[in-house]
Amino acid sequence: MSFAVVDFETTGILPSYHHRVVEIGVTHVEDDGAISLRWETLINPERDLGPQRIHGIRAADVLDAPTFSDVAAEFAELLQGRVFAAHNASFDLRFLQAEFERAGYWLDGETPHVCTMTLGSRFGLGQSCSLSRACTTYGIDIGHAHCAGADSFAAARLLAAFHAESNTRPEWVDYWQRAAESGRAYSYPTGRRTGVAVKARSDAGAAPVSFLERISMDAERPRVEGAGAQYVALLDRCLIDGLISVSEGAQLAEVASELGLNCDAVDEIHRDYFVELERRAWADGVLAEDERATLRAVGALLELDDEAVAEAVDDIVPTAGDSQPESRFKLSPGDIVVLTGEMLRERSAWEADLRELGLVPHPSVTKKVKLVVAADPDSLSGKAKKARDYGIPIVGESWLADVVFPRQNKEVR
């Protein structure tokens, strides 16, 4: 007898509400309880990630992860000839069915399965015992909860414990035998592997490649007229919230290439831009500590050398340049603001605060929108995608708390 123990992390609880899988974990367990394989991957759901505070997956983690369609054939191979098992299997089976169908694969009839949560009631754990409590009872370290790979591995060891405890008892022999036969007889859909690599969550913790590393040393195209100004305009939008998200970095690298800017040209633009930021900070004759902190942060994002950053935050007032300081991004009454993603604070509360300032919360993105506020600046939601297409700035929820409503919303960070 062999099992394929599966766990999904998802954007929500109902596939019928367009919720999607964002991570898959599979653990193979043999008849003797041995773990013979562990497989896991993040999944790009091509939509907002839902309750990120639960599964802890960031949009930046899945930008280069495979879609379910990319790994559907490989995933099906891992299930073939084995008993499907999961903790609260009905939940995982709903998503199994929905994701395979969306990828163009069809499952025949009800998938035979074993549910460790249901089995738990037969072993004195109650009818709806959580995986965490069940594992604690059996002395199993669950590891990183709400990580599909870790939860699948923990459920696999729990299943092995149930099997070991019961496989010598006559009343269980028939149960395990029937499960094994149904698992071997069931056929999962077959397809051709795409060759797209899986991406485990452990791979997502590595620092992303700097967008500057993506810019060629040699310009591959002739420089566009006014290229520097166009690049700076995008850079200004990206730095509204003092961050360059992974998505924004990719846009900057792509724009630099399209404008015919090589690495040296971009570095020069960054240095000039940084000097202009310093002049803006000194406009009132004082360089406050928060302004010094901002300059240091921006200098690091632009990968300027320590000497350039040190000169910017010293107590020497910079000489006036030929150009007038540009006005920083700000929201004005009548500006349209769109919120997207599951935020730490109730969206209705944010909308009420925005209206008090004369701003206009709007449910969808049009070219008239001034700003999009996302639970995650790298959001994959339809609103965020459209905002990028229109060149509308995207900031995180904390920017509203820190910049627009610093007093009212101290709890959001």
Span 122-180, pLDDT tens digits: 999 988 899 999 999 999 998 887 899 999 999 999 999 999 999 888 889 889 999 99
For residues 158 and 267, state if they share a domain: no
Work out the burial of residue 295: count CB atoms within 10 Å of its CB; fewer than 13 is exposed, 13-18 middle, 19 or more buried: buried
Contact status, residue 395 vs residue 238, Cβ threshold 8 Å: no
Q: Is residue 51 part of a domain?
A: yes
Sequence-ordered list of residues with C-beta below 8 angstroms from that of 255, at least 6 positions apart, any chain? 230, 231, 234
Contact status, residue 164 vs residue 138, Cβ threshold 8 Å: no
Contact status, residue 274 vs residue 306, Cβ threshold 8 Å: no
CATH number at residue 87: 3.30.420.10
pLDDT for res 325: 42
Q: Is residue 44 part of a domain?
A: yes
For residues 190 and 239, state if they share a domain: no
For residues 252 and 141, state if they share a domain: no
For residues 278 and 197, state if they share a domain: no
Cα(44)–Cα(196) distance, rounded to whole angstroms?
A: 12
Grouping H, G, I as helix, E, B as strand and the rest as coil, residue 13 is: coil
For residues 152 and 7, state if they share a domain: yes
User: Which one of 278, 312, 346 terminates a domain?
Assistant: 312
For residues 363 and 245, state if they share a domain: no
pLDDT for res 277: 86
For residues 107 and 125, state if they share a domain: yes
- The b-or-e profile of 324-363 (16+ CB within 10 A means b, else e) is eeeeeeebeeebbbbbbbbbebebeebbebbeeeebbbbe
For residues 170 and 249, state if they share a domain: no
pLDDT for res 153: 97
Q: Is residue 160 part of a domain?
A: yes
User: Which one of 312, 328, 347 terminates a domain?
Assistant: 312
For residues 298 and 346, state if they share a domain: no
Helices (H) and strands (E) in the chain, counts: 17, 9
Q: Is residue 327 part of a domain?
A: no
List, for the chain, all residue ranges whose pLDDT scores fall below the cut of 50.
322-327, 410
Q: Is residue 60 part of a domain?
A: yes
For residues 158 and 20, state if they share a domain: yes
In total, how many domains does the chain have?
3
CATH number at residue 349: 3.40.50.10190
- The boundaries of the domain holding residue 367 are 336-404
Cα(149)–Cα(41) distance, rounded to whole angstroms?
A: 8
Q: Is residue 167 part of a domain?
A: yes
pLDDT digits (tens, 9 = 90+) for 62-112: 999 999 999 999 999 999 999 999 999 999 999 999 999 999 999 988 999
Q: Is residue 269 part of a domain?
A: yes
For residues 116 and 57, state if they share a domain: yes
Q: Is residue 352 part of a domain?
A: yes
Residue type, 274: F
For residues 152 and 62, state if they share a domain: yes
Closest of 245, 294, 273 to residue 394, by C-alpha:
245
Q: Strand 336-340 and strand 360-362: pairing? A: parallel
What's CA 151's distance to the chain center, in Å?
19
